[in-house]
Structure 1
Amino acid sequence: MKKNQHILFVHIPKTAGTSFRISAEEYYAEDEVFYDYSIQARETSKLIVEKIYKYQDFYGFYNTVLNKLDKSFLSGHFHSNKYASLYDTLNIVSFVRNPVEQVLSHFNHHKSRNGYDENFKTFIKDKRFCNIQSKALGDKPIGMYGFLGITEAYDSSIFLFNRLYNVELKTKHINKKSNHTLALEDININLLKLIERLNARDIRFYKAVKAQFEVRKALEAKGLVFTHGFIQKCTSHEIMGIAFQKDNEEAIAIDIYLGKQYLETVYARKLRVGQRNISRKGYIGFDYVYNGENKNNQKFLAFNSVTGQEIMH
């Protein structure tokens, strides 16, 4: 692991986050691991209670941990925005899970661990438990996170995480055999449809993250580097976006297509205000204006010229 590499892990409930957290506990030194699972949670670190909950002193936490330690790992049930300003964007990580499975597992956890006494339908309809994955991570385009693993591909996720951050976390499966009060096969079709309707945003989010994960895995198999970024604007005559790679100070070459027609290669070297702390001092933007006629209103596409990876909309 490189020095000054501080990982922020957004632990979404019932996504294998506990397994990941325990693996990190074993890898990092005791004084490099910090937890924020609410002020009431016994796991929450004393430093977090003092700096964050007692004094709301986020800079004090930064100065005590990120500014002094060579590396650290902060995990907890919080929105990614809570600590995002303190961390490098590419060091913010999380795991996501099939939303139906996540809702079911979350209910079982509340039933067995938290004394929840309502029925499953009531739980499903409670807004606190709907779309919690996209709520935790949805304010930032998925291509701007350092790493988003997939619960159903946990072993592969750990492998990719280790490669990306040059660490050696062990694969663990904590809580895998917990006592479930309700199984997927017990859910009738109406309840299943209700889960899907009330968690439609999470389902779209999960599909996008899973697609990105498969791209990252395929690139890794070929020895190629994943390109972070996203499309900021796409009209019938213009496309704008961001593209950059971890540990690469070169501007990314981007091939622009209109449908299947190649148009031009541009470079992601224009300034994007607000992105100065990400890579290349914020000079990671690209744009292209099409002066021709787009009769069929085809969609503009952008690909890394070297790897062929599409920059996601």
Structure 2
Amino acid sequence: MNKHLLFLHLPKNGGTTLNSILDRLYKKQKVFSIREKNPHELNTADFLKLPKLEKERIRLVKGHLKFGFHEHFTGPSEYFTFLRKPEERIISFYQYVLDNPSHRLFEEVSKMSLYEFVTQLKDADTNNGQVRWISGMVEEGEGMLEKALENIQNHFSFVGFTEEFDESLILLQEKYGWSLPYYKVQNRTRKRQSLEALDDKTKMAIADHNHLDQQLYTIFKERFDQQKKMIRNLNLKVLRLRSYNKLYSIYKG
């Protein structure tokens, strides 16, 4: 039996670009995309209302879904996701909110510095957000990192990295037998602050509020580096992908 594949799209980790690739690789009728119905509500309820048989026909669910979504399927399923360096993710997330007046956090964040965004905003995505989503724990508590590690061990087929996006795509291609996953970058945050330009107080605040995310990143980056060694001619495959991307970006304008 084919497994249901779930792409757990962590905010500001390159997921919008990956979603565009998945839309090309999978038949539309076999994909369900988790989307915002409004700034405060996702369309998860629409999936839950589907008849059981129709749910089971879905081969891929993708979007901002927390761990546990697989429980809505009766057949076997597995997740994959991409991690990002916590400091880069937080900077990108902050700038993304500022650039989007329709974002649920815009009104509050527009009055904040990056330091205040990290230390004062009562939003889980700025505080070990990657571990929180993967663990499935709504509130931070003892053992959240351990739960995330357990979930990955038991339910995830792959963990990639935004900083090595192309290499991650090649590993996914090898694992799932995809055609070449070429793309044009989507939803890139513009005019964001660089990490080097941040003051020490802000850097420390980001590190303090995302120390579990950093531990998760470090653990799986080591595993990812080992996985890359198993792919024959990886560098050549990455170069081929990037060549296609240049042509595709020109074609898409």
TM-score, normalised by the number of residues in structure 2:
0.73
Over 3 Å counting, the alpha-carbon distance change for 1:220 and 1:199 in structure 2 is same
* 1:156 and 2:150 are equivalent in the alignment: no
> Which of 1, 15, 18 is the aligned partner of 1:17?
15
Aligned alpha-carbon RMSD (Å) = 2.8
Corresponding residue SS for 1:80: coil
1:134 aligns with 2:144: no
In structure 2, how many angstroms separate the alpha carbons of the residues matched to 1:93 and 1:195? 25
2:79 matched to 1:83?
no
Match of 2:141?
none
- Secondary structure of the residue that 1:220 maps to in structure 2? coil
3-state SS, counterpart of residue 192 of structure 1: helix
Amino acid at match of 1:65: K
AA aligned opposite 1:147: F
* Equivalent position SS for 1:78: coil
For the pair shown, the structure with the greater C-alpha radius of gyration is: 1
SS in 1 for 2:99: helix
Structure 2 equivalent of residue 210 of structure 1: 221
Tell me the CA shift for residue 159 of structure 1: 0.5
Q: Which runs of 5+ in 1 are unaligned?
A: 223-313
Scaled by the length of structure 1, what TM-score is found?
0.60
- Match for 2:113 among 119, 126, 131? 119
More helix by share: 2
CA deviations on 1:109-168 (whole Å, 9 max, x unpaired) are: 111013341221121123521111111113342333111111111111000101111112
CA change 1:188–1:210 in 2 (3 A) is: same
Q: Within 2, Cα distance between the matches of 1:210 and 1:62?
A: 38
Which structure carries more strand by proportion? 1
Name 1:65's counterpart in structure 2. 55
State the distance in 2 between where 1:15 and 1:178 align. 11
Contact 1:155 1:171 in 2 (8 A): no
**Aligned-partner Cα distance in 1 for 2:15–2:32:** 14
1:50-61 correspondence runs (5 A): 50-52=46-48, 60=50
With CA pairs under 8 Å and 6+ residues apart, which has the higher RCO, 1 or 2? 2
Unaligned runs of 5+ in 2: 136-146, 234-253
| Alignment partners' CA distance in 2, 1:97 and 1:167 | 23
In structure 2, what is the equivalent of residue 274 of structure 1? none
Instruction: Give the match for residue 98 of structure 1.
Output: 85
Identity %: 21
Aligned-residue offset at 1:88: 3.3
Could you tell me how far 1:177 is from its partner in structure 2? 4.6
Distance 1:217 1:100, change over 3 A: same
Equivalent in 197, 202, 223 of residue 191 of structure 1: 202
Mapped to 1, the partners of 2:6 and 2:15 lie a distance apart of: 12
Tell me the alpha carbon deviations over residues 38-86 of structure 1, each in whole angstroms, 9 at most, x when there is no partner. Answer: 44269966xx44343xxxx5xx5653132x35xx221111211233563
Aligned pairs, number: 209
Change (3 A) 1:120 1:95: same
8 A Cα contact 2:7 2:61, kept in partner: yes
* Secondary structure of the corresponding residue to residue 62 of structure 2: strand
Could you say if the C-alpha distance between residues 124 and 41 of structure 1 is closer, same or farther in structure 2, counting changes exceeding 3 Å? closer
